Amino acid sequence: MGIEELIKGGATLPITRWGEPVMHAQTRPVTSFDDELRTLVADMFATMAAAHGVGLAATQVGVDLAVFVYDCPDADDIHRVGAICNPVVTLPEGDERNLESTEEGCLSLPGGYQPLARPDKATCTGVDPWGEPVTVKGTGMLSRCLQHETDHLNGTVFGDRLSNRLRRKLYTQHEELAHLYPADWPVSPRKTSASE
């Protein structure tokens, strides 16, 4: 059985918002690579797809386990799909380090986007949902995704990495659109207008 078995058939779950304690705390390492874990991963894939995201951490569905899923293009526009438990991200240093500033958003703060500089390459090591070692080398958006999701599992939301001015702008953007996102989104779809 491979990851393709987990990217279909999961249940859509409500996405947890910033401010909930689980979003701002260190997660527990995954120690049981069982059907319960794989059901969670399948549900995370379904939730990410329903929300049109490229990555989703377990904390974003209210679970304090160190696992995230991704379905994200790399710098060559090749879609990469997977799930990583107990991830560790390694970033380039010295001459190899190249920061790329681009708009970043988060499904747990829907509607808000602000530019954030991150290294344009990242290597993420961990284990898959069956406990087998995995290494993912990310470029472009995939690099950003690996960093963003691993941050979540360490209790860091990307707003924590912004200046105070940009963080205020981010929250203002979110507040202007928050009424379009039901409390159980994406179980209930995003509204298209305030009158719905």
pLDDT one-digit tens code per residue, 43-100: 999 999 999 999 999 999 999 999 999 999 999 999 999 999 999 999 999 999 999 9
Q: Could you tell me if residue 185 is inside a domain?
A: no
The amino acid at 48: M
Beta strands in 35-175 (DSSP E): 55-57, 67-73, 79-90, 99-105, 113-119, 121-127, 133-139
Element (H, E) at 52: none
- CATH number, domain of 161, equals 3.90.45.10
Residue showing tokens 């859509």:
12
Q: Over the chain, what is the mean pLDDT?
A: 96
Task: Tell me which DSSP letter residue 122 carries.
Answer: E
pLDDT at 2: 84
Phi-psi category of 40—alpha, beta or left, where left has phi over 0 and alpha has psi -120 to 50?
alpha
Return the pLDDT at 194.
55
Find the range with the poorest average confidence among 3-7, 24-28, 119-123: 3-7
Which residue range(s) make up the domain with 124? 3-179
| Inside any domain, residue 188 | no
Question: Which one is catalytic: 5, 93, 149, 176?
Answer: 149
pLDDT at 133: 97
Positive or negative, the CA dihedral 150, 152, 156, 162 is positive
Domain contains 70: yes
Bridge partners (DSSP) of residue 104 are 114
What pLDDT, on the 0 to 100 scale, is given for residue 1?
64
Whether 4 is catalytic is: no
* Size of the chain, expressed as the number of residues it contains: 196
Q: For strands 67-73 and 55-57, give the pairing.
A: antiparallel
- The answer on pLDDT for 195 being more than 90 is no
pLDDT of residue 118: 97
Tell whether the model's pLDDT for residue 196 goes beyond 70: no
Q: Please report whether residue 23 resides in a domain.
A: yes
pLDDT of 56 reads 98
Average pLDDT over residues 11-22: 97
192 part of a folded domain: no
Tally the domains of the chain: 1
Note whether 142 and 70 are within 8 A (CB): yes
Q: Is residue 191 part of a domain?
A: no
pTM over 0.85: yes
CB crowding 164-193: b at 16 or more within 10 Å, else e? eeebeebbebbeeeeebbeeebbeeebeee
Token digits for 5?
């078995």
Q: With respect to residue 195, please indicate whether it lies within any of the assigned structural domains.
A: no
